[in-house]
Amino acid sequence: MRAFSAVDSVSLAIQRTREFLFRPFKWGTYLKLGLVAIITEGAGSNFHSLSHSGHTTGREPHFHPPFHFAPEWIAAILAIALVGFVLSVVVFYLITRLRFAYFHCLIHNIKEIRPGWWIYGAQAMRFFWMNIVVGFCFLLAVVLIALPFIGGFLRLFHENRQSGHLDVGLLLSLVLPLIPIILLLILACLVADLILRDWMLPHFALDNASAGDAWAQVWARIMAEKRQFFVYVLLRVALPLVATAGLFIVLIVPGVALAGAFAAIEYGLHSAFADSTGASAVVGVLVQVFFGLVALGFALLASICLGGPLSTGIREYALIFYAGRYQALGDILYPPAPVTVVSR
């Protein structure tokens, strides 16, 4: 298979996505593959943020003293945090196995998830632990970067506890230098995730390579075609954003209309059963729950139908671009023509 440029790989990825999901088309298979694609692509590199809101009283914002928890509450919180951490690790491992399974489906153009799930068990485990190590390294980097700022934030906290007013100047002097650092960390996370999933995973799966061997092979290819890999990274990040924005613009009107219709139904049902008691109240609650579940089902169905092809296209794009630079993968995606021997 010849090496396609980052730009040329886009049309080929669209073609392979169409053939994989729609030829032949079966609703059950399409929904299954779409859900797997969303899980493996959407859950891979997410950045979660917490937002807090408070009441304003017309005065300057101020800090309140910390809450005092009983030892039992502290133990319960720690136990919940530990259980949540363990569950997160288990879920991430299952998603890693699922990524290898979907990789197997795409390269062989098959619709069954189970074969790849069992074929790449050992490779997925090693890839999982490598991701854990990389994540720990990023966490360590974040801690080291945050250390010089901790003293300033502690001083800001104590000063504002004493004065009851927020020192905006001091806050800006601490936050502004962090903005470019945070952006660089996010960019580094995106690039690391791209390298791991798009380029190193195929070596784990097909060569049973170790982390060092996979990275060495990827690095050699990057050095040989720096420009193409750079353009690929730009398109790999930009194209999903552009596609998502396009879908949002096209579907915002029907989406709002559908959401409004369900909201109107829920409001009407709530008003109709607002003063009911006994069995009528129970029926009202059940009816409202039913329509709420129907609305949730429609939202889930729309997400799979729209996000499935997009997520599959992203993975096909990664495979096609790298297959032209990795012969073992290229020979599976586009098997070479058999050599005919002419006897005399």
Give 71-130 pLDDT, tens digit per residue.
778 888 888 999 998 999 999 999 999 999 999 999 999 999 999 999 999 999 999 999
Euclidean distance between CA atoms 32 and 96, whole angstroms: 17
Structure tokens at 100: 């290898």
Whether residue 8 contacts residue 279, with contact meaning beta carbons closer than 8 Å, is answered with no
Q: Where are the alpha helices (DSSP H) in 67-200?
A: 71-108, 114-119, 121-163, 168-175, 178-194
Euclidean distance between CA atoms 185 and 178, whole angstroms: 10
Closest CA to 311 of 66, 34, 111: 34
- Torsion sign, CA atoms 315, 198, 317, 230: positive
CB atoms within 10 A of CB 299: 14
CB atoms within 10 A of CB 71: 7
pLDDT score for 8: 93
Euclidean distance between CA atoms 320 and 317, whole angstroms: 5
Least confident range from 12-16, 17-21, 243-247, 327-331: namely 243-247
Q: Residues 224-248: what's their mean pLDDT?
A: 90
pLDDT score for 284: 73
- State the pTM of this model: 0.79
Element of type H or E holding 94: helix 71-108
